[in-house]
A and B are shown apart, each in its own frame.
Chain A
C-alpha cells in the first residue's frame, strides 16, 4: 500500500470505528472491502482506494464499474477475463456472506451465457446480510463499434 492509499486507509478505518459497534462486523467488513479493492486493482491498477472510500464516506456505499477491455484482444479473450474476474468476486462474496440471496454458493456452467462462441456471465447476483447489500452484475457493452465486457459492483450499507 503506497502513502496515498495509506492516507485513505486511515480515513476508512476511522469511518468503520464510527459505523460499526461490533468488532467482528467491523473487521470482516474491512477485510472484504480491502480484498475487493485488491481485485479491482488487479484489473485496473489506477483504481485507487480513495474511489471507494470517498463514496463510502459520502453515501454509505460505493459502486465501481470495471471494464474488461483490450485494444487488440479478441472478444473471446475478453470474455475469459470477464469470467475469471466475475468468479473471483463471486467467490469472495460467498466467503463473506455464506451465499447469495437465492442460496447460491457456486457458479455452474449453466450460468455462463454463450453468444457468438463467447462465454461470459450476463447476470446479477445479490448478497445481503445485517450490514449491507451487494449487487454484482456483468454485461456486454458495445461502444464505438467495439465490444467489451463490464462488471459492476454496488455496495449499500444498511441505514
Chain B
C-alpha cells in the first residue's frame, strides 16, 4: 500500500437519507487510520462529507468497494477528488436484478418515502371507469369542452394514456 505525505481532499457524496447512516459511520471508521479529518453535512440528495485523506482517491475507492462487499445494505456513493476533479462511484457491482423497492426508495430523495412511492405506483394502475368516460364525452358533446371540470379532464387524460399504453 502506497502512502504519501501529500494530503488529498475527497468529497464523499452518498445518495438517499439526509441523516448519517450506519453505512456511512462504518465506512468512516474503516478509513479512520488513513485520514486526518472527516466533516459531513446534509446535501440536496443525501449527505456530503469532506475527507482529508493521506491516501489518494483510488485507495479510498478500493476501501469503499471492500466496504460494500462486507455490508448487507449497500448505499450509492460517489467519491470526488476536489483537487483533480476525478470521481469514482460504487455502483459497478450492483446487479439490476437485485433491485428491490427499498433500493428504489433509498435512491429517490425527491419522492421522500417508500410509502409515497408505492402509493404513486398504485395510482398509475387505477383504470378509469368506461361508463364514467362515456358520460363525460356526452357532456362535452352537449355543453362543449370549456365547461369541463378539471377532474373530468384529468380522468380523460388518464383514460387516453391507458388506451395508448394498451395499443
Contact = CB atoms under 8 A, between A and B. Distances in A.
A45 B87 CA distance: 8
B contacts with A: majority SS: mixed
B43 A152 contact: yes
B120 interface: yes
Contact of B107 (A48, A50, A51, A55): A55
B120 A58 contact: no
B89 A50 contact: yes
Nearest to A148: B82
A101 interface: no
B99 A59 contact: yes
A154 B11 contact: no
Contacts, number: 112
Interface string B16-54: 000000000000000000000101110111101110100
Contacts of B83: 71
Contacts of A133: 110
Interface stretch (A25-33, A86-94, A104-112, A135-143): A135-143
Contacts of A116: none
Contacts of B84: 45-46
Which of A133, A141, A144, A156 has the most CB atoms of chain B within a 10 A radius of its CB? A144
Interface residues of A, number: 36
Q: How large is the interface on B (under 10, 10 to 19, 20 to 34, 35 or more residues)?
A: 35 or more
A135 B50 CA distance: 24
A144 B92 contact: no
A64 interface: yes
Given A58-B94, A59-B108, A144-B37, A65 B48 contact: yes
B87 A144 contact: no
A44 interface: yes
B139 to A, nearest CB: 26
A67 B11 contact: yes
B80 interface: yes
Contacts of B96: 57-58
B41 A141 contact: yes
A63 interface: yes
Which of B37, B78, B94, B103 has the most CB atoms of chain A within a 10 A radius of its CB? B78
Interface of B: 9, 11, 13, 15, 37, 39-41, 43-46, 48-50, 52, 57, 76, 78, 80-89, 91-92, 94, 96, 99, 103-104, 107-111, 120-121, 124
14 contacts: A43-B85, A48-B87, A58-B96, A59-B99, A65-B13, A65-B43, A65-B45, A67-B48, A71-B82, A133-B110, A139-B44, A141-B41, A143-B50, A156-B110
